[in-house]
Structure 1
C-alpha cells in the first residue's frame, strides 16, 4: 500500500457505483435467498469453465443456458425500481416468478432441441408463448441491469419490424407479424440468441472471470502504487498517476464508471490536495478511465464482438495489435495536457513522504505476469478462450508467490462469484443488442441506413465520418459500450466501408466514439461519477474531460485517413514516420488546448499550435511538412517572446 491515505471508503465507492453504473445496483441478500443467489452465480461460472475446458455446446444450447442463468439472477439481484437498488434485502414475489419463468425460458432449447430442429419455422402455441416471454424478459432485465436507453432502442426497432409498411421513404418494408418476429428473435441465431450473446457466452465471460481473479490478487491497488512509483514525483504527479493507473485498470475492467470509482477514489483526492481544481481533477480521471477500454490487451467486452462482426479470419490479436498505437496516442495526449496544466498553475509532484516504497512496489512486479502472459498467448495464435483459461490458471499460480496476494479456496470461489456477477449486465446488453441486429438483418435496415447516411453526406468521406461520429456518440449516451458498438457497427460502420475504408478501421472508428460518449455532455456518466468524488460541478467536469480527451475525437479520423496507424499494409519505416508526425500533432494540439508550452501562449499561438497539429495528423507529405514548419516556428516564438509574469520553468 502507498503512504497516501486519502482514498474513499469501500462503502462510498459502492454508493457511487450504484448511482452511476446500473450494473452495480444489486440487492443485498441474506439468508436462504442470499445462498441461492450465491449458488446460482457459482454455477454460472462453473458452467462456463466446464464448456471452456471441454468444448462449447452447440450455439443454441450454449447461448440459451447462458441467457437463462443471466435473466434469473438479474431478477433476483436487481430490484424493479432504481431507488431501491443497494437497499433491499428481500426479493419481491413477482421477481421470484420472473426468475422462475427465466429458468424455463433458458431451459426450453436444451429440453426441446430435437423437436425445435425438426419443426424449424413452424411454431407451436407453446413455442410462441415461450419465445414472447423470452423477449419481454430480456427487455425488462436489460432495463434493470443496463439502463433505459438501450431498452427503448430495442423496443423501437421491434416496432419498426412490425409496422414497417407504415414507415416513410426508403426505410419502409413489408412488415413482420408478431409470430414471425418471435420466431426470428428466439428460435434462430439471428436475434436474441445471435452473435452478440454468443460472444458474451464464450469470450467475454471468461475474460471477465480473468479480471475478477486479477482483482483478488490485489492487482488493482498495485496499479495505483506502480503508477505513483513511476510518475508521482514529476510535475503534476497525481494527474499523471491517474492517467497511468487508469490505462492499467482497463486491463481488468470494461466499465468506464468502474474505472473512475476504483482508481479515482485514490487519485482525485491526491490531485485536489496538490492544487488541481475540482473539475479538472475529476476530468483527468474520467478521461483516463474511459480510455481504459481502448487499451489492449483486453479493451472491454465490445472488442470481442468486433472479432465476430468483422469476420474474414481476423483474430482478437489483430484487433489488439491495431488498437495499440491509437491507445498510446490517446493517453499521450492526456498526459501532455495534464503536464502543461500543472506547469501553467505551478503544481508540484508528490513529496518523498507521500510516495510508496519503490523497492516494496517492485517486489510485487510479478503481479503483472498474467497480463504479460495473455499478451504472449494471444500473439502465439492461441484461441481467445484457451488464452483466457490459461491466464486464469497463471493468475492463481502467481498469486501463490506471496502470502498477501495468495488466492485460497475461499478467494477462488469469491472470484468465480464476482466474475459471474459482472457478466450479468453484459449478457442482458448483448441479448437486447441481438434484438436490434435481428431486426436489421430481417428488414435490410442496415444497408438502407448506410445508403441514407451516404446520401446525406453527399458521398464524401469526411462528412460521412462526422455523421457517423455523431450517431455513435448519441447512441452511446447512457448505453453500455457493447450495445452501442453492436448498433453502430450494424448501422453506421457499413456506410464508411462502402467508401472503401478497411473494415477494421471502420469498426474501430465507431468503437472509439461509442466509448467517448461516457465523457461527452450532456450524458457523461464517467465524468459525473468523477465529479461526485471531486465535489466539482458535473457538467463542467464533463466539458473538461471532453477537452482533455480531444485526442479521442481526432485519432479515429487519423486511422481512417491513415490505416498505417493500425499497422495495416505498411512498412516499419513508414509506420515510424506516421507515428512520429501523429505524436507531434497530438503534442501541438494539446499545448494549444491548454494554452501553455514553454510559457503561457498568446491566443494566436494557440491557433497556430492547433492548426499545426491538424496538419501533422492529416496523412499527406505537404501537410506534414507544413505542420512541422509551423511547429518549429511556434517553438522558436515560445523561446523568444518572454512574458515577465510567467515563471520560466522550461519544457
Structure 2
C-alpha cells in the first residue's frame, strides 16, 4: 500500500477511535443527518439559553434546576441511541427502526420531570403507576445508553449498586441495611433529585456542557493548531524539542479539549512522528504524548469535567479549586518536561534546526516579548478596573466596545500575514517558525480565554455564567473572524460568511455530541449516589474501610488509589470521581482526623481526581495510550506501561499534598510562603524525575540515587524530619 494511502487509512482509524470514545461512531446521511444535526444544535442552544441571564430579562423560558436537568438528560438519551450503535456489527450509515423507538422513549423518560413537573410537585412521595413504569423504563434505557456510549463496566457497577439496594438485609453485618421496596427505589432514583437527577447531572447541566462547548468552538476556529505551533516555535530547537512540544502543546490544548483521547490525536498526529525522527523510539514517543495529554485534565484554568463537580461536592468557588490545583499541575508538567529532557540526553536525540540568530538578538527578542506580555496584561487588568470604577453597573457596554475594538485590531493584524499551516512531520525538512510570527496570527484567540478567566477569577462569577460569556465571545469570533479576514484581504466576503456559519453550526453540533457520554455518565453515577443515600452506605463505609485498612491512613490512601485505577479502567473520569468521592472522601477525612491528621476536603477530592485520570494511561484499557500507539504504530500495552512510568510523578503528588497541604496553597498567609511552596515543589518533582530516569548530570550510581530520593522526600515533607526530633505541636 502506498504511504499516502496508508497514512489516510491510519487517520481514518484514529478518527473512528475518537468518535467511538467521545462522539459516537454513527454518521448517517441525508435527511437523518440534518435531523440529528438540528437536535444537537438545539441542545447546545438550550444550554446557552439556560445559562444566560436572558430568561430573567425577558421573563420567558425560566426553568428551575430539576426541569433543566430533565431536559438535559432527554437530549442526551435521544442522541445516545441515534449516534451510538448497539453492536459493532450495527449499521453506521443509517439508524435502525428499533433505535428510533428507543431514542424517542429515552427522550420521553429523561424529560419526564420537565413534562410533568407540576403534577409531581403536587403529590411528592406518592407516585402513580405510570410514574413508576416510566421510572423503571427510564433506568433500563439509561443503562442501555450507558452500555453503548461507555461500555459494560459502568453498567456492571450501577447494576451492583441497584442489587445492593434490594439484598441489604442479607449482606454481612458491616454492610447490612433494611432494604427498600421497588416503588421506593424507583421514586428515589428517578422521580426526585436524590438519584439520577442529583448533583452530578446538575453540574453536567449547569457547568460542564458550556465548558465542553467552549473548547469545541475554540478548536473549531483554529486555536488548537495555533497553540501547537507556538509550542513548536518556542521549544522545537531544544534537545528533545518535539517531545517538549508534545508536553507544552498538550497542556495548552487541555484548555481546548477535555478529552484525553482527542487531545492525543489532535497534537500527537504531529508530535509523535516528529519525536521518532529525532531519535526517540515509537513506544516512548507515544508514551510521552499520552502522559502529556492526560495531564491536560489537571491543568487550570479549564480542568477536566470532574473538577467542576468539586464545586458542589466541596462547596467552594471554582476559582478556589483553580488556586489549589495550580501548584501540583505546574510541578507535574515541569517534571514531565525534565523527564523528556533526560530521555533525550540519554538517547542522544537531536534538536530541530532553526534560524541562526545572534545570541544578543535572541535575548533581546525574548526580553521584549516577556516585557510586552507583562505590560499588556497590566494595561488590560487596570484598564478594565478603571472602566468599572468609572461606569459602575453600566460598565458592560463600554467593556464590550473595548473588547470589540481589540478584537477587530488583532484580526486586522493577523490578516497581514498568511494563515498557519502545520508542516508535515514526515517530510525531510521541518521549518521551525519564529514565535512572534506564529503568535501574531492568533492574538484574537486570547480574547475568549481572557473573558473566561476574568469572569471566573476576578468577578467571581459562577462557572456556568462565566462559561456563557466566554461561549458568547467565541461564537462572535466564529461568526466574524473569517469575514473580517476576507474584508481586510479583499477576498470573497460572502463565501467567508457562509463558511463561518457552517463552522458555528458544526461547532454547536460537535459540542453536543462531545457531551453525550458525559451526560450519560453523570446520570448513571447518580444511581450509585442515590443508592448511597437510600441505604445509608456512606455511613457504613467508615467502619468498613477502617476495618480493611486497620486505621492506617497511608494504607487507606493506597486502597483508594487502587480502587480509582481499577474503576477508571472501565468507566470515564467523571463517573469514577463521583463514585469514589461519594464513598471514600468523607471516610478519608474522618479516619484522618481520628489519626490526628487534619486532611483538607479539597485535598481528598483532588487525590481521587488525579487517580481517576491516571486510568487513561495505564493498561490494559488506557484509551489515551491506545490512541498514541495507533499513531506511533507500536504496541499499545508497551506504550501504556511506559506512559505509566512517565506518569509516576503525577501519582506521587496526591500522596504529597494529602500530608503537605501547603502544596495546595492551603494555610499560606504571605506571598513569599506561596513562592517557597511553589519552588520547593518544582525542585522536588524534578529530583524525583531524575530518580525515575536514573540520570542526573550523567547516569546515577546507587548511592547518588539514594541521596536524590532523600532530597526529594525532604523537600516534599520537611515537617517529617522535624517531628522526629521534636513532638508535634497540638493546640489545646
1:551, distance to aligned residue in structure 2 (A): 1.4
Partner of 1:593: 692
Matched, 1:310 2:314: yes
2:576 aligned with 1:484, yes or no?
yes
Over residues 361-410 of structure 1, what are the superposed CA-to-partner deviations in whole Å (9 max), with x where a residue is unaligned?
A: 02123323322331121112122122111112222444545638987222
**Range that drifts further, 409-418 or 356-365:** 356-365
- Cα deviation per residue 1:266-320 (whole Å; 9 max; x = unaligned)? 1111101111011110110010000000001111111111111112xx1111111
* Greater alpha carbon shift after TM alignment, 387-396 vs 356-365: 356-365
CA offset at residue 552 of structure 1? 0.9
- The corresponding residue for 2:179 is 175
2:642 to 541, 544, 562: 544
Match of 2:419 in 1: none
Name the counterpart of 1:15: 13
CA apart distance, 1:486 = 0.2
User: Could you tell me whether the CA contact under 8 Å between 2:215 and 2:258 is conserved in 1?
Assistant: no
**Paired position in structure 1 for 2:469:** 390
Deviations for 1:87-121, whole angstroms, at most 9, x for unmatched residues? 61111111011011122213422332222112211
8 Å CA contact retained: 2:106, 2:142? no
Is residue 520 of structure 2 the alignment partner of residue 428 of structure 1? yes
Give the Cα–Cα distance (whole angstroms) in 2 for the partners of residues 82 and 191 of structure 1: 31
Q: CA deviation at 1:416?
A: 1.1
Give the 3-state SS of the residue equivalent to 2:512 in structure 1.
helix
Segments of structure 2 that go 5 or more residues without pairing to the other structure are: 56-61, 355-429, 487-495, 593-597, 726-732
1:451 Cα deviation (Å)? 2.9
Equivalent positions of 1:193-592 (< 5 A) are 193-311=197-315, 314-352=316-354, 353-363=430-440, 364-380=442-458, 381-398=460-477, 400=480, 403=485, 408-498=500-590, 499=592, 500-571=598-669, 572-592=671-691
1-structure distance, mates of 2:567, 2:284: 26
The correspondence for 2:68, drawn from 46, 62, 72, is 62
- CA 1:536–1:551 in structure 2 vs 1: closer, same or farther (change >3 Å)? same
Q: Distance in 2 between matches of 1:338 and 1:146?
A: 33
CA contact (8 A) 2:665 2:677 kept: no
Of 73, 76, 82, the match for 2:79: 73
Q: Indicate the larger mover: 153-162 or 166-175.
A: 166-175
Aligned residues of 2:23 and 2:83 also touching (Cα < 8 A): no
Seen in structure 2, the aligned counterparts of structure 1 residues 285 and 277 have a Cα distance that, compared at 3 Å, is same
What residue is the counterpart of 1:41 in the other structure? 40
Check 1:103–1:515 CA distance in 2 against 1; reply closer, same or farther (3 A cut): same
Q: Which residue number in structure 2 is paired with residue 610 of structure 1?
A: 709
Query: 1:502-546: per-residue Cα shift (whole Å, max 9, x none)?
Result: 111111110110011111233222112211111222222111111
Between 138-147 and 565-574, report the one with greater CA deviation.
565-574
TM-score (norm 2): 0.81
Q: Please, what is the CA RMSD of the aligned residues?
A: 2.3
My pick for the range that moved more, 147-156 or 104-113, is 104-113
* Farther-moved stretch of structure 1 (576-585 vs 288-297): 576-585
The separation in 2 between residues aligned to 1:7 and 1:227, in whole angstroms, is 29
Matched, 1:139 2:143: yes
Higher Rg of the two aligned structures: 2
- Contact 2:521–2:574, Cα closer than 8 Å, also in 1: yes
Q: How far 1:15 sits from its partner (Å)?
A: 2.5
- Relative to structure 1, is the Cα distance of residues 271 and 625 closer, same or farther in structure 2, using a 3 angstrom cutoff? farther
Identify the residue that residue 636 of structure 1 maps to in structure 2.
Answer: none
Shift of 1:10: 7.6
Return closer, same or farther for 1:437/1:336 CA change in 2, 3 Å cut-off. Answer: same
1:83 Cα deviation from its structure 2 partner: 4.6
| Matched-pair contact (CA < 8 Å) for 2:80–2:145 | yes
Q: CA deviation at 1:170?
A: 0.6
Mapped to 1, the partners of 2:456 and 2:5 lie a distance apart of: 35
Which runs of no fewer than 5 residues in structure 1 stay unpaired? Answer: 627-651
Q: Tell whether the 8 Å contact from 2:242 to 2:274 is kept in structure 1 after alignment.
A: yes
Deviation readout 1:464-485 (Å, 9 max, x if unpaired):
2111111111111131111000
Q: CA deviation at 1:17?
A: 4.9
Please tell me whether the aligned partners of residues 290 and 617 of structure 2 are also in contact (alpha carbons under 8 angstroms). yes
Distance 1:49 1:382 in 2: 16
Quick one: distance in 2 between partners of 1:144 and 1:475? 18
8 Å Cα contact 1:236-1:342 kept in structure 2: yes
Aligned length: 618
Q: Is the 2:190–2:196 contact (alpha carbons within 8 Å) kept by the matching residues of 1?
A: yes
The residue aligned with 2:408 is none
* Deviation for aligned residue 1:612: 2.5
Q: How far apart are residue 624 of structure 1 and its match?
A: 12
Q: Give the secondary structure class of the aligned counterpart of 1:408.
A: helix
Question: Offset at 1:19?
Answer: 3.3
Per the alignment, in what secondary structure is the counterpart of residue 352 of structure 2?
coil
TM-score (ref. length: structure 1):
0.91
For residue 146 of structure 1, report the CA deviation from its aligned partner. Answer: 1.8
Q: CA separation of 1:453/1:486 partners in 2, compared to 1, >3 Å: closer, same or farther? A: same
Tell me, in whole angstroms, the C-alpha distance in 2 between the residues paired with 1:396 and 1:35: 21
Cα pair distance change 1:11/1:46, threshold 3 Å: farther
Whole-angstrom CA distance in 2 between matches of 1:320 and 1:266: 30
Cα offset for 1:335? Answer: 0.5
Distance 1:496 1:124, change over 3 A: same
